[in-house]
Amino acid sequence: MKRVLGSLAAIAIADWVIANVKLPWLAVGLFDEPAHLATGYLLGGSDPVFLAGSVLPDVDHVPLVFNSPQRGDPRPKTHSLYAAAAVAPFSRKLAAGMLAHLARDLALEPGVPLFGGRSFRVPYTAYAVLVLVSAYSRSRPLLSRAGT
């Protein structure tokens, strides 16, 4: 239960800071990456391969650091379903973690180029509901064991 609440807190704090504090592009990552891990935990549990997948897509940001990126710049095309599909034959867990990463990025500016081109977005509310339902589901086994 502590991990579930900690994950929700990490996401809430990160998203509040990202939305309300004017930070440079690189500093946003200091809040965004823990939120990706928290999202990964809520959606896939503590499996290290799944959690690695939940942050793996942001490796494509490393070369961008040398190009003076700005907030709102489009995400690289490797933030797409194609990248997850390319990994899936080798590790379904890693690919599933990558999809958890995309679920979060879909709700944040500037969206995700799901098919390698135009960026798509979903309302933040859709992501929030996904996270809350996952948190509830993840906490239920703990609650039922505590009651026995």
97-140 pLDDT, tens digit each:
999 999 999 999 888 888 878 889 999 999 999 999 999 988 87
Cβ atoms of residues 7 and 42 within 8 Å: yes
Give the Cα separation of 24 and 18 in Å (integer): 10
The 10s digit of each residue's pLDDT in 12-35 is: 999 999 999 998 877 888 899 999
Q: In whole angstroms, what is the distance from residue 140 CA to residue 90 CA? A: 32
Q: In the structure encoding, which two tokens stand for residue 95, read together? A: 């690919």
CB distance 94 to 53 below 8 Å: yes
* Residues whose CB falls within 8 Å of the CB of residue 1, separated by 6 or more in sequence, listed in order: 139, 142, 143
Question: Which among 126, 130, 104, 131 is positioned nearest to 32, based on CA atoms?
Answer: 104
The predicted structure's pLDDT at residue 147: 52
pTM higher than 0.75, yes or no?
yes
- The pLDDT tens digits of the residues spanning 37-94 come to 999 999 999 999 999 999 999 887 777 777 777 776 667 777 889 999 999 999 999 9
Integer Cα distance of 95 and 80 in angstroms: 11
